[in-house]
Structure 1
Amino acid sequence: MDLLRAVKRAVGGADSAEDLLHSAFVRLSEYSARESVDNPSGFLVRTAANLAVDERRRVQVRRESPIDIGEMFNLSDGQPLHPEVLAARERLEKVMAALDSLGPRTREIFLLHRLDGLKYREIAARLDITVSAVEKHIAKASLFLVNWVEGE
């Protein structure tokens, strides 16, 4: 628990300290396979702090340039669309139609995770359900989309 407390101090007591520490452990494992690490605890805390900074930057970029997927269909520069763009637009419309055939709760949870970048724990707290329920909805949506893609 001392290590978790150190990570919480380093990242400003963030709720994501456990996730950051887990990611830091993964990085330590990968790094220590190539190089020796003299101070694993220090490595973990510093890596977790760096990961927290990276996450804050990603969140800031998302806030500065929010894009509504519906608005993307209305963008036009007056030029004819290229075949690749048309194909991509058709594929996106098919994916959106496929997502519409999911149950509303499953679709909402899947989009919160994939588009909004929320973690399972954050989704569970927001929707007042268990993390296990979130995992099941994500698995259901993912399996549905895999089967949908294979069926095309």
Structure 2
Amino acid sequence: MLLTHTRSQELEAIYSDHHGWLVNLLRRKLGNIDNANDLAQDTFARILTGRDKDVIREPRAYLTTIASRLTAQYFRRLALERAYLDALAGMPEETAPSPETRILIVEALTAVSRVLDALSPRVRDIFLLSQLDGLTYAEIASQFDMSVNAVQKSMIRAFQHCYAAVYAP
């Protein structure tokens, strides 16, 4: 992506004026300066690679929004990693996956989580009850006090969303 001279100057000014502030904000949320620096850099990288070409009128609000989303992703990844490692702890050592495989699995779980998080909460819950818990559409309909047809429509939306997330360019 080519930046215009004006856009480049604007982003440079935002970085120099607000980087320290953002790192301190993230350090308070994360409790760790190294992670705060990483997420601050990721925040500015998102701005650089973003499609939004408008002038950023409220830089701190804009940075806070992006950083908050990245922080949520960070904590979600930590929770997934912790849950996965807890599950591994119960396995016999000789059947446990290699460290490389563990990293790949955590990355895959994070990607799946991101896709599911983009669904509405109700559609996501219906999808998970069907796919993970094995409930029938009738059981889900009863649980949500809705028709089987409404459950089917929610499942169609979920499948379409997952298909687009995996196969769309």
Give the TM-score, by structure 2 length. Answer: 0.44
Higher helix share: 2
Give the TM-score, by structure 1 length. Answer: 0.48
